[in-house]
Chains A and B, each alone.
Chain A
């Protein structure tokens, strides 16, 4: 039998890993297209997007769901990644604070985006 019968604590990681995974899928499939459309094609005038049609899209529940998904999930993905990259870069000071800080940031963005969408 093993020498040290260690007590293992269940990690809370499944919650954040789930959001990270969802964000990864959204970021891989939708984010590049969104950057292309909203960041390049529309500003360059290649594609026309008028306020009325975007507003109409954000006004129905289907559109709201899509918008919250493409905003919130990649945010959780990025914050989770940065939090873990800090450990990879040996920045291990105040892990507890940075955990609250990064996941808190994703949480605030999620709530704010949700509130804005509901308000539309």
Chain B
């Protein structure tokens, strides 16, 4: 029985020997249920063991396998060869990030930005265990729930033209996480995060292109979070004129 084959073009870059990234073609056996990371595994196991790429969970929750697939930011585990039979398949490292090696992009800047927005619940008043749990109504949950589904895969950064033009911009995922905690009724850290929201590098660096929301593999809507952030920042702008929050 002859096995159907499919050509996969993969970006290679080995900094110790290549001056610039280049494209390399591989023939991989085709199956209907084969994902992009399955194809990369086949290449690494059978054709070229030096190929480097990130992956882990194979089920769209770890956020490791973000690549550009035919120029569109995609998760390798959630993208299938069967959808590229007519177009061919080209896999590259995530756009807007430096290339570390082959398909591995350096997402250090993104991780720093995530830390910067303090993506955790901040309390001003200490609450003891005896006080019981924080109760939240379904309405309060709805305010932030979809934003909490982010898996930090970085696809939205690869999609964002503003981040591509100027990576001082905090970018979609970080601003979405920031908004997620500001919207959480248990959180009291808004004042520690609002300076980032108000800045040019914050929500105001966004021009509402909306591609971030289109490529998000988890159905999060970062563009909406950022526009809501603009409303928050505008309110804060007016309030700061009427009643200065603190000296700064």
Contact = CB atoms under 8 A, between A and B. Distances in A.
Given A18-B234, A90-B165, A10 B112 contact: no
A10 B207 contact: no
Contacts of A8: 195-196, 198-199, 201-202
B234 A10 contact: no
A50 interface: no
A2 B112 contact: yes
Given A84-B207, A88-B165, A11 B112 contact: no
B198 A10 contact: yes
B165 A10 contact: no
Contacts of B198: 8, 10-11
Interface residues of B, number: 20
A2 B178 CA distance: 14
Q: Which of A1, A3, A13 has the most CB of B within 10 A?
A: A13
Contacts of B196: 8
Contacts of A45: none
Interface string A15-34: 10110000000000000000
Given A17-B204, A17-B230, A10 B195 contact: yes
Contacts, number: 46
A11 B165 contact: no
Nearest to B209: A88
Nearest to A3: B112
Q: Which of B196, B237, B240 has the most CB of A within 10 A?
A: B237
Contacts of B195: 8, 10
Given A11-B200, A14-B233, A6 B161 contact: no
A90 to B, nearest CB: 7
B116 interface: yes
A87 B209 CA distance: 14
Nearest to A80: B207
> Which 4 A/B pairs are nearest by Cβ-Cβ distance?
A8-B199, A14-B237, A13-B204, A14-B234
Interface of A: 1-4, 6, 8-11, 13-15, 17-18, 84, 87-88, 90
Interface of B: 112, 115-116, 161, 165, 195-196, 198-202, 204, 207, 230, 233-234, 237-238, 240
